[in-house]
Structure 1
Amino acid sequence: MLFITTSALLFLWACQTKNKNPQLQSQHEINNNWSFRQVGEDEWLPAKVPGTVHTDLMENGKIENPFYRLNEHDVQWIDKADWEYKTTFETDESVLLYDRVQLDFKGLDTYADVFVNGTQILQTDNMFREWKADVKELVKKGANELRIVFHSPIKEGIKKYDSQGFEIPVSDNDLAKIGQVEDGKKVSIYTRKAGYHFGWDWGPRLVTSGIWRPVYLKAWDKACIENLQIVQHEVSNEKATFTAVFEIEAEKRSKATLSVLNNGTILASEKVQLEKGLNKYPVDFKIQNPQLWWTNGLGEAHLYNITGELKTGQRTFSEETRIGIRTLELVREKDEQGTSFYFKLNGHPVFMKGANIIPGDVFLPRVTAEKYRTTIETAKESNMNMLRVWGGGIYEDDTFYDLCDENGILVWQDFMFACAMFPGDTAFLENVKQEAIDNIKRLRNHPSIALWCGNNEILAAWYSWGWKEQEEAKNKENAGKIWQAYTDIFHKILPEMVEKYDPGRSYWGSSPSSGLGVPADLVNGDEHYWGVWWGKQPFETYATHLARFMSEYGFQSFPELSTVQEYAEPEDFDIFSDVMKSHQRSSIGNGTIEYYMLKEYKQPKNFESFLYVNHILQAEGIKFGLEGHRRSMPFCMGSLYWQLNDCWPVASWSSTDFFQKWKALQYYVKKGFEPVLVSPYVDDLKFKVGIINDRLEKVNGQLNLKLMDFEGQVVWEKASLVEIPANSSGDYFNENRYEFLYRKNTRNLLFYAELVENGKIISRNIIFFRPFKELDVPHPNVEYTFEKTDAGFDIHLKTDKLAKNVYLQIGNEKGFFSDNYFDLLPGGRATVHLKTGISEEKLEDVFSFRTLDDAF
């Protein structure tokens, strides 16, 4: 049983009198002694809360790991069943003396009936919302039962599907066939639940239910602060002005004092008259000589700890939040090409470098704070300054946004709608409205939130995927209803909620688009480019298909062998085996990887070599996009590739796999997003070297260029002093490529560029003039030594000839290489830092490396 006593209460707010009497507002998490069962069955099993039905069934040995081999297909019955959870908690009389006692459910997935001591207190239908219920009249001294019945999201969805009267278009990402849903009905759109649970072209179909976020019992007297919003006004070097908006739930009319503090120092204080019920009270304050919040690479992400205090009589209640002082605007101005689309931070246009993210697991309670931390550390280490939270997943946990705040990572925040039209009935629209309010209020104080976006690719589906024509051909009246629901949600409800609850931020109706309800083009908004992959266009088009902001583009790879071994057996090690095809959700997936691979490389000699070459293929392909987008600034001002992470072990577009291991792409991204980048490239008849400088000050340096063969003989070189203006992109070498390469053996030739500042190489890059399969790459003699460090080892490498895509490994041991999959020039040396806890003796035993010539 869960005992809640005066001595055991945990406190959310610092709620104490001047004389330090016992605190008067409490919060306790109800997370112990839960059990669950399938409705209709007798057996109760232990459950973990927060958790999910699937993970609880796994813990009790009732199902096998759905990620392993083809097990996913054997657990599709779970989402057709109803499930029941219960626990008993005890309260003593002191809890019942509070004016208010409340149960707060941070996340219930999804259709749930909630009972306390046999009385129903809630009926929920949205996993994205927070649900609260007053229970003072229901809880009693001693034992209290909390029971939650989860109804099948599939059965509930089918009811709504059948009552709709016509079919609403949904993309093939709703894997109803795999889910064995009645008549293949795509019911995901009727339930306010993470879309990717129903399947996606990188994820499994595992439609789970459960108490996915914490449950709290709260109690307080007289009044409490329900929400504290910090609204920023003017910012100058001398001061920044704000309004703290206190949202207060008061039990009765009374006088109070509201104060705003920074690290204990009072910034402002105001006397107010509290009114019974929920009301808002503004308090203006200012911060002198403010330190600004900057994105990663431009400065410190400085944060202020702000406390809002509510004093009624001798009782003081408080709530804390953090803010970053910065100005941020989405700039949409007409110019010669169309309409700009860029973010201006603290008065400076900033090129956005980053990726799209999806939820870190299908089973969301397994996404720990440590996993979030690794995600954001990866983004920061990779020189990113923006992540897009994609609309088919979830509004992420507070921990994610806190880490983005701390590390200077802006967040493009989608609302949770993707690749489908949605119902437009009154109840659904009201549910969406409340979902928006909950999440805008929860996230609006975070300086990392850059933009609210209505949806992912729905406008594109309607106008560019043929949905509009198809629906009008079937029934024009129904097509009108479908489009009306779209405009009600994305042109009315969501922008109105943003304007009302977070007016300082921009709203963007759909990604990609060129404006509210305006389909995407290349000159007025953001773009998702999938000509590479779906259209089998060459990688080079990444650098020429340019829009004002590239918010999606990508190419797939399998994870490394150690991850593949987590879901497959050696007999599955063929990309066209049933297991490999099941862990590939793109309809053209494995064949497309092979198609592109054989354009650039010979057939790898075995499955492990295929994985290695696939990593390099993905990285080299996306490199065209990363660099091409940056070279085209200021026309293009953002490059967010698809995708940073995975929700299960799978072949996908990710740059880190489910276990957060870096693929080759992540190492390429780290270099491609360096603040200063030297970028040699072919532009039709020209061969050029571009330099991009994201710093807010100019760079003076020396540009060194070389043509050399694979044995190290230099056949051409040039050095020049260059001055690169702040926040700029330009070409610093421009030659006719045919004249430049005239009578040169490009099968045995590379071009090397480096930029040196104050004696230090700040950027280097290599380009080859043929596909790898046409190069005469020799077998290099690579030597290495280990040097122990506090955190692991320095690995010193040298080679006699070109060592292409050096890949360092330590078997299945845990560790992280500071660089990998890199080219080592003939006669060159490199030092790679290995962070690991293994001994030198163990390292000697497990360390290995390979180069690309070994793969064939």
Structure 2
Amino acid sequence: IVKYEGTKMKGNFIRLVLLLTISYVFEVKCAKVIKSGIEQLNLNANRESRLWTAIGSNGTQEFSVPAQVPGGIYSDLDAFGGIFKNQIYHDYNDVETRWVGRTNWTFSRQFSVSSELLSKTRIVLICEGLDTVSKVFINNILIGQSDNMFVRYIYDVKDALTAGVNTIRIEFQSPVEYALNQYNAHNAIYGYPVLPGSLSPEYRGENKAQMIRKMQSSFSWDWGPSYPSSGIWKDIYIEGRNDAVVRDVLVFTKSNTQQPDETDSTSWKLTARVYFDLTSVRDAGFLNLQRLDGEFSTSIAISFANETILSGIYRDISIDIPGSEAKLWWPNGYGNPSLYPYQVSYTSSTGDETSSKAFNVGFRIVELIQDPVDASRPHFVNGIKMYSKGSNSIPIHVLPERITDEMTEWLLTSAHKLHTNQIRVWGGGMYESDLFYDLADKLGIFVWEDFMFACAMYPANPEFIATVVDEIDTQVKRLQHHPSLLMWAANNENEGALRDNWYGTRDNFEVYKSDFIRLYVDTVIRNVKVLDPSRDCLSSSPTNGKKTEEEGWVSVWPGNILYGDTHPYNYVSDNWDWSWMISRRTRYASEFGYQSFPYVETLKKVSSNFNQWTWFSEFVDHRQHHPGGQKEIHDLIESHLPIPLNPNSTESFPSMLYMAQIMHSMGQKTQTEFYRRNVDKFFEAENGTGYNMGALYWQLNDIWEGCSWSSFEINGRWKMYAYFAQRGFSPVLASPYKDLNDDLVVEVISDSVQQYKGSLRVRIFKLNSLSPIFDEAMNVTADYLTSKENFRLSSTTLESLQCNWEQTGSPCLVYTTMPQLPDNFVFLNYPTKGHFILDPNLQVTGLHASVDGRAISFTLTSQAVAPFVFLNLRDHNHGYFSDNGFVMVENEKEMVYYSQDVTTVEEFLSQLDITSLFDVTEFADHTDSSGTAIEAGL
């Protein structure tokens, strides 16, 4: 039994209880319909075949280039027009090719139709994804239109086709032009604008993305560029048949108990709701549900004689499964995510046509409980609570056609290595690929799925509502069967944007509120509930849950820390000091984070003039879309680290990049540990806060080589924060900090279901010596979902050790170790002056390659305390170290580099960069408060 406690609330609290079962027999990937006896003509084609052509004009030049389907116009122009020189994100390409998104594009090809296909009773063109606003012609006959990137379109084409050669033409309207026209038309018809009218200029993007149903961030965001593409971005094919066909399958499971086990005292009913497209009401046949190993199977005869429509018709088929045949599916860190493969198939009564769909089944109960918080009782009653640890994902690339299976698999497996048990698919991007959710199933990673609305007001006119209904139908039916799918959310931050007047909604608040309710409550939530009553759908994120509903769906304070989830960002306060978070002690942090740039070698690959880059240079500013971001990072560095005397020089730029990653990592570390320490604390007398049950950092991945909040670069490279997250999300962790009385406290946090019994060692170092000035060890015990104080050292004792804030001299570092668990540390005062940091003379020795060449073990040696040691291989993106970004307080550290590719010792050494804080001190201030130069090590 897994019970996932989400956000709790004073008076009420949100809690997700999940009981899941599935068992891994063999893997089913990407649940697609397989057909036999049904004619299918695939219209996909690679660019080299030159079957598809894309035509458009930028006003001065006509373009006609071979197109790839699935694909997009930017990639087509790049491949044959050379507009990016095969480097889409290079230099200023995002603004220099802005004309592409402002141009209408026509895609066309010829194809042959056989007499066998034409003889079928019903023939349809199926477009799995059109990006975005288009008219579709076959043989110059208009057979349909599209206006939503996220909808599967099915058009009747029997009367448009002829035997032999046919032509298909899809005319795409410029998404930028369409969005602008829709914005102006809405304002003219309804008398008010759909805000915002424009983005911050720092975004360097297009405006009014809220008016078009495509990837919102393709118009740009505060972490990504503007590439509003057009094209056929998913499969396109013609289907001909004489009977009904399986189109989608929803999966529902019900246990005979709220606490199922793996014995026959538990039984499950598995129901597949099978959606059909018909040829006529005379269709009839046999429907079968079976486990693919043959253990369980059932069949029923079905007919459609009483139907009045030909699409969206469903039939249910069920099978009973004993608990012994339904091993529990566990999220990452709790057990194996076992999976059972099932299949539904429909065979026509004549036996001539069969369509089937296979999928991995999840037997699960999901409850969203909103009970009063009561400090006198445990905040969860039955079963095992689960603390959410993870992050928020954005699109893996701004152009979907450039997302490879390898990129998706590396990202999800990397997240799994960080102890991630939940990923929130953020609402300004795209519903991810089938592979993404298949991997989440396999890896035991829950997916919180946003619908694709973010940071804006949206239209609620009938035409917009109609396309959103189609979008919900497409995506819920595609994703619902996944055991990893945890819950839905209607949008990202739109409730807060409305209530807090982000875009000037205050003067017309009731009108915008009415649109908000019509779109998200009356449309999104209502339609989700019809299709997927097994899951809850939040009205926004952040949201106050039931409290929001009680307040009319737009809460008085959507970010209330006593209710629901929050997004607690703060770029001004000291991000190494947890005390600012007291006022934001949230029940559940579903976004939080800091910015940094990618590794220096990553940035070099996208710049023609990297040697001219400085912290505040034009091009660096171009890669920073967060307003004021460069100064915010600069100021955080300046208050904690030995910032260069001239931070805006080309020589110091690599140092600034390195220190930005330190600030990013330390800020996230401080915030994550604070939330985890509050897992079992309730501050009833203070303000009713506490009982935190989730920390999802912003953000998992990058969309380009620019400044962002990510833990992984777009190329897959682990940034420093990825290693901090891996340590910070460890099931058991020692968390040292200074409390409000300036005492040193170490709490041991645990979300391990197994009680931990072991030892804790606490040492204090000055940065100028490897010999600790304090060293004490003790035995500790840690129970599930607790954070208990195990060590305390008074401020008086710290003062005697010269480790308080006011005293000068080498900064003090507290270092904790626990056997078989990650080390941890905290600075009692900050290393802002470089002269306290000695040269560690870091060296690599004893290198040895594994038999398969995918692991290099070695010893790292040091002659001094080395803060923030960071190792990188310049040209290796798909690899990671056993530890990184650490503080080295020993003479030796055993390490391993794990690579996806074969790597030799010689290659490893030739590619290796090692940086520690000492390496940036040559550019720093080495004077005392009076300006007198100080010798190193004092």
Cα offset for 1:763?
3.2
In the alignment, is residue 56 of structure 1 matched against residue 76 of structure 2? yes
| Corresponding residue of 1:833 | 897
Out of 915, 920, 930, the residue aligned to residue 850 of structure 1 is 915
- Residues 1:586 and 2:612 aligned together: no
Structure 1 residue 241 and structure 2 residue 304: aligned? no
Larger RCO (alpha carbons 8 Å, 6+ apart): 2
The answer to whether 1:38 aligns with 2:38 is no
Q: Deviations over 1:409-436 (max 9, x none)?
A: 1111111111111112111112112211
Stretch moving more, 23-32 or 588-597: 23-32
- The one-letter amino acid of 1:287's match is I
| 1:502 is aligned to 2:532 | yes
| Gap change, CA 1:582 and 1:194, over 3 Å in 2 | same
Q: Distance in 2 between matches of 1:339 and 1:91?
A: 70
The one-letter code sitting in structure 2 at the alignment partner of 1:845 is S
Q: Structure 2 CA distance, aligned partners of 1:723 and 1:27?
A: 64
Give the residue type in structure 1 aligned to 2:861. Answer: K
1:539 positional shift? 4.9
Instruction: Tell me the CA shift for residue 577 of structure 1.
Output: 1.3
Aligned to 2:315: 281
Matches within 5 A, 1:714-733: 714-733=772-791
How many equivalent residue pairs? 822
With 232-241 and 617-626 compared, the bigger mean Cα shift is at: 232-241
Q: Which amino acid aligns with 2:905?
A: E
- Does 2:374 match 1:312? no
Match of 1:553 in 2: 592
State the distance in 2 between where 1:91 and 1:168 align: 45
Q: 1:638 aligns with which of 675, 689, 694?
A: 694
Q: Is 2:106–2:171's contact at 8 Å kept on the other side of the alignment?
A: yes
Q: Distance in 1 between matches of 2:377 and 2:120?
A: 57
Query: In 1, are the aligned partners of 2:573 and 2:580 still within 8 Å (CA)?
Result: no
- Asked whether the equivalents of residues 272 and 316 of structure 2 are also in contact (C-alpha less than 8 Å), the reply is yes
Within 5 Å, give how 1:8-23 maps onto structure 2.
13-15=33-35, 23=37
Q: Give the match's secondary structure for 1:529.
A: coil
SS across alignment from 1:763: coil
Which of 566, 574, 577 in structure 2 is aligned with 1:527? 566
Give the Cα–Cα distance (whole angstroms) in 2 for the partners of residues 603 and 514 of structure 1.
Answer: 41
- Give the CA deviation at 1:29: 4.7
SS at match of 1:167: coil
How far is 1:106 from its partner?
A: 1.1
* Cα pair 2:198 2:208 within 8 Å, conserved: no
Residues 277-304 of structure 1 deviation map (CA, whole Å, 9 limit, x = unaligned): 3422111212222111111111111111
CA distance in 1, matches of 2:202, 2:903: 46
Give the counterpart of 1:577 among 611, 617, 627. 617
1:136 and 2:158 equivalent? Answer: yes
**Residue ranges of structure 2 left out of the alignment (5+ in a row):** 1-30, 645-650, 681-690, 805-809, 922-938
Does the 8 Å CA contact 1:117/1:138 hold for their aligned counterparts?
yes
Report the secondary structure of 1:668's partner residue: helix
Query: Which residue, out of 702, 706, 721, partners 2:759?
Result: 702
Which residue type is aligned with residue 124 of structure 2? Q
Cα distance in 1 for residues equivalent to 2:131 and 2:617 = 34
In 2, distance between residues paired with 1:171 and 1:735?
Answer: 55
Q: Distance in 1 between matches of 2:273 and 2:392?
A: 32
Cα 1:13/1:74, change in 2 over 3 Å: closer
C-alpha distance in 1 between matches for 2:44 and 2:617: 45
**Cα distance, 1:840 vs. partner?**
2.7
Q: CA deviation at 1:226?
A: 1.5
What SS does the aligned partner of 2:210 have?
A: helix
Deviates more, 1:514-523 or 1:411-420: 514-523
Q: For the structure 1 residues 567 and 844, does the alpha-carbon distance in structure 2 shift closer, same or farther, using more than 3 Å as the test?
A: closer
Counterpart CA distance in 2 for 1:813 and 1:395 is 29
Q: Supply the distance in 1 between the matched residues of 2:505 and 2:63 (Cα, whole angstroms).
A: 48
1:483-516 deviation per Cα after TM superposition (whole angstroms, max 9, x unaligned):
2111101121111112100101111111112123
Alignment equivalent of 1:170, drawn from 181, 190, 196: 196
SS in 2 for 1:714: coil
Paired AA for residue 527 in structure 2: M
**What is the alpha-carbon distance in structure 2 between the residues aligned to residue 564 and residue 753 of structure 1?**
35
Contact 2:575 2:666 in 1 (8 A): no
Q: What's the counterpart of residue 869 of structure 2?
A: 806
Query: Does 2:573 correspond to 1:512?
Result: no
* Greater shift in the superposed pair: 743-752 or 696-705: 743-752
Partner of 1:256: 285
Once the two structures are overlaid, the 10-residue window that deviates more, 368-377 or 186-195, is 186-195
SS in 2 for 1:393: coil
Aligned-pair distance for 1:272? 2.5
2:410 touches 2:878 (CA, 8 Å); kept in 1? no
Q: Describe how 1:757-772 pairs up with structure 2 within 5 A.
A: 761-772=820-831
Query: Is the Cα–Cα contact under 8 Å of residues 340 and 548 in structure 1 kept in the other structure?
Result: no
Give the drift of 1:153.
1.9
**2:746 matches 1:689:** yes
Distance (Å, rounded) in 2 between the aligned partners of 1:296 and 1:36: 45
Superposed counterparts of 1:639-788, under 5 Å: 639-685=695-741, 686-710=743-767, 711-745=769-803, 747=810, 749-756=812-819, 761-774=820-833, 776-785=836-845, 786-788=847-849
C-alpha spacing 1:552/1:526, structure 2 compared with 1 (3 Å)? same
Q: Check if 1:208 corresponds to 2:268.
A: no
**CA shift for structure 1 position 585:** 0.3
C-alpha change, 1:698 and 1:171, in structure 2 (3 Å) is: farther
Q: How does 1:363-378 map to 2 (within 5 A)?
A: 363-378=399-414
Give 1:173 deviation, angstroms: 4.1
One of 429, 433, 436 as aligned partner of 1:393: 429
State the superposition RMSD in angstroms.
Answer: 2.6
Amino acid at match of 1:170: P
Q: Deviations over 1:649-684 (max 9, x none)?
A: 101111111212111001111111111111111221
Q: 1:536 to 1:418 in 2, by over 3 A?
A: farther
Q: 2 CA distance for matches of 1:333 and 1:429? A: 33
Distance 1:680 1:375 in 2: 30
Q: Take 1:720 and 1:535, find their aligned partners in 2: how far apart are those partners? A: 34
Alpha-carbon distance change, 317 to 193 in structure 1, aligned in 2, over 3 angstroms: closer
CA-to-aligned-CA distance 1:760-796 (integer Å, 9 cap, x gap): x223212221112258222223332211212141121
Could you tell me whether the CA contact under 8 Å between 2:718 and 2:880 is conserved in 1?
Answer: no
Q: Partners in 2 of 1:553 and 1:148 — Cα distance?
A: 42
What letter is aligned with 1:272? I
Q: Within 1, Cα distance between the matches of 2:653 and 2:890?
A: 29
What are the superposed Cα offsets for residues 804-830 of structure 1, whole Å, 9 maximum, x if unpaired? 222223333556232222222133422
Question: Do structure 1's residue 271 and structure 2's residue 301 form an aligned pair?
Answer: yes
CA contact (8 A) 1:418 1:458 kept: yes
Q: Paired residue for 1:5? A: none
Q: 1:851 to 1:175 in 2, by over 3 A?
A: closer
| Partners of 2:566 and 2:328 in 1: CA distance | 31
CA shift for structure 1 position 42? 6.2
**Which residue is equivalent to 1:105?**
127
Q: Is the 8 Å Cα contact of residues 812 and 829 (structure 2) preserved in structure 1?
A: no
Match for residue 362 of structure 2 among 324, 346, 352: 324
Percent identity, aligned pairs only, is 27
SS at match of 1:688: strand
- SS of the aligned residue for 2:566 comes to strand
- Once the two structures are TM-superposed, the CA of residue 95 in structure 1 deviates from its matched residue by 2.2
Secondary structure, aligned partner of 2:234: coil
Letter in 1 for 2:661: H
Distance 1:340 1:482, change over 3 A: farther
For 2:878 and 2:542, how far apart are their aligned partners in 1?
38
Aligned partners of 1:368 and 1:341: how far apart in 2? 43
